Structure 1
Amino acid sequence: MTKRYLSSIALALGLLVGATSALAAEEGGLPHAGTNVGDQASLQRGAKLFFNYCVGCHSLKYVRYSRLAEDLGLSEKDVMDNLNMTGAKFGEPVVSHMPEANAQQYFGKAPPDLSLEVRAKGADWVYGYLNSFYLDPSRPVGWNNAVFPNASMPNPLWELQGLQVAEKKPGEEAVEKLSLSQPGKLTPAEYQQATRDLTTFLEYAAEPAALQRQHYGIWVLLFLAGFTFLAYMLKKEFWKDVH
């Protein structure tokens, strides 16, 4: 029975690894985001980028300012003075101040709420998207994106990254290569770190409870290990006289 049980666990792990590999293959070579929601400094830098460059159009309606303060190690004053751009109360969710009707007029559609963006598309997709904007005069907003072609969104971080242009094979629409035609305020390495921080923050926003889950998970595993040991010793005691 024990051997069959171990075989079942091995099979389940094998299927999990296989599914993970298949999913990675489907991503089509997206750059690895390398995010870590346990890195509080990265979360703080990402929050700063979001509230300076993204909240004008995008909301985080499932995240409250008070929760941000608690999870990011910030005081109420820090949050209200530096992150609250709309005059919302401390206990209210993060909502963009752009009216939906205006957004519809400017961009053709209202910008989506980003609370669950990383859970929907993955951290690697979001990170790749933030690094793949390029100039495209044929588009209404003057920008396009290699990861999400014909997106209605301009590059909100262009002054940090600079201006990218796309190289395409003759007669093809797919982008073969992106190159920097005009540098921005950050070097390419600094910009990649900035977008990694922003992606980390959005990954946190998609599941704020992940921080507590990881913390409590260690204690749960320790409890299960101790309980398993005690159950095993109890079983040996009950069955020691059975031959």
Structure 2
Amino acid sequence: MKKLFAILALIGLFATPVLAQEAPVPLDPAPNRIDDLAALQHGAKIFVNYCLSCHSAAAMRYSRLTELGLTDKEIKDNLLFATDKIGATMKVAMRPEDAKKWFGAAPPDLSVEARARGTDWLYTYLRGFYRDDSRPTGWNNIVFPNVGMPNVLWQLQGERVLKQVASAGAGGEEGHAPAFAGFTQVTPGTLTPVQFDSTVADLVSYLDWMSEPAQRTRRQLGVWVLLFLGLFTVLAWRLNAAYWKDVK
């Protein structure tokens, strides 16, 4: 038991700095729209138009989008830009070596990114970009500082800069390291802030669905399995009582 606690303590010791480095600000809770087909369809459209040019989703086929209520024709007419086959996987034409040259690292595959990062992380990250002229792409992020990815949604969100204030040091003195204090909107986007947050929520919900398309069916089956086990437990309990009632 002592060894187990020691291993858990070591895991926490090494994991905490990583989490602190990647999420230096509190994460906003992502709206859960996994059961909203209209939101998932909109999220799929945003993903194909803004994400799929750099990020692949090699574990997902276009044909699975029919599970969101889309027809084959709708998929072909509106979502097939990188291939002409509806049964193809969501891959990109950009070569990894070119991506590394342009962005410093090859963009990760997003097939299971929602499960790896969590929806709250993605929701806050996609809404956390700001202008930073010191970065090669001209963009930075409050959740992932010095990220190589530019803000691909900037036309929807508009341009913002980081608003900073000096944080108080020991004894309440000012003039120490700057702390995050929000954003200042420089130019407006095509969407209002509320509309943009809703669009990102749809995108994150789609990424969550894409990471496990069968999760809705799994949850529904899980409810029926629990009901069956509950009923079976009652029957087994009554059968056991009837079997032993005459045993002295």
- The question of a shared fold, defined as TM-score above 0.5 by the shorter chain, is answered with yes
- Per-residue deviation at 1:225? 1.7
Q: TM-score, normalised by structure 1?
A: 0.84
Q: Displacement, 1:65?
A: 1.0
Aligned position for 2:89: 93
DSSP 3-state at the match of 2:232: helix
> Are 1:182 and 2:187 counterparts?
yes
Q: Give ranges in structure 2 of 5+ residues lacking alignment.
A: 1-15, 167-175
Q: Output one character per residue of 1:196-221: Cα deviation in whole Å (capped at 9) or x when no partner.
A: 00000001111112122012112212
Of residues 31, 48, 57, the one that matches 1:34 is 31
Deviation at 1:174, TM superposition (A): 4.7
User: Higher mean Cα deviation, 45-54 or 88-97?
Assistant: 88-97
Residue 111 of structure 2 is matched in structure 1 by 115
Distance 1:210 1:88 in 2: 28
Percentage of pairs with the same residue: 46
Offset of residue 237 of structure 1: 0.8
Residue 164 of structure 1 contacts residue 179 of structure 1 at CA under 8 Å; is this kept in 2?
A: yes
Deviation at 1:222, TM superposition (A): 1.8
Q: What is the CA-CA distance between 1:99 and the residue it aligns to?
A: 2.2
Q: Given residue 41 of structure 1, which amino acid in structure 2 is its aligned partner?
A: A
State whether structure 2 residue 209 is matched by structure 1 residue 225: no
SS of residue matched to 2:238? helix
Once residues 141 and 178 of structure 2 are traced to their aligned partners in structure 1, the CA distance between those partners, rounded to angstroms, is: 12
Check if 1:65 corresponds to 2:70. Answer: no
SS in structure 1 at match of 2:114: helix
Counterparts of 1:230 and 1:106 in 2: how far apart (Å)? 65
2:51 to 28, 37, 54: 54
Cα offset for 1:88?
A: 4.3
SS at match of 1:231: helix
Partners of 1:144 and 1:154 within 8 A in 2: yes
Letter in 1 for 2:138: G
Aligned length: 219
- Name the structure 2 match of 1:104: 100
Residues in 1 aligned to 2:80 and 2:72: alpha-carbon distance in whole angstroms = 10
- What SS does the aligned partner of 1:169 have? strand
After superposition, the CA RMSD in angstroms is 2.0
Partner of 1:153: 149
Report if the CA contact (8 A) 1:132-1:178 is conserved: no
Deviation, 1:143, is: 0.2
Name structure 1 gaps, 5 residues minimum: 1-22
Give the secondary-structure state (helix, strand or coil) at the position aligned to 2:195.
Answer: helix
Corresponding residue for residue 208 of structure 1 = 213
Q: For 1:201, what is the secondary structure of its paired residue?
A: helix
Query: 1: CA distance between counterparts of 2:202 and 2:99?
Result: 26
2:13 counterpart residue number: none
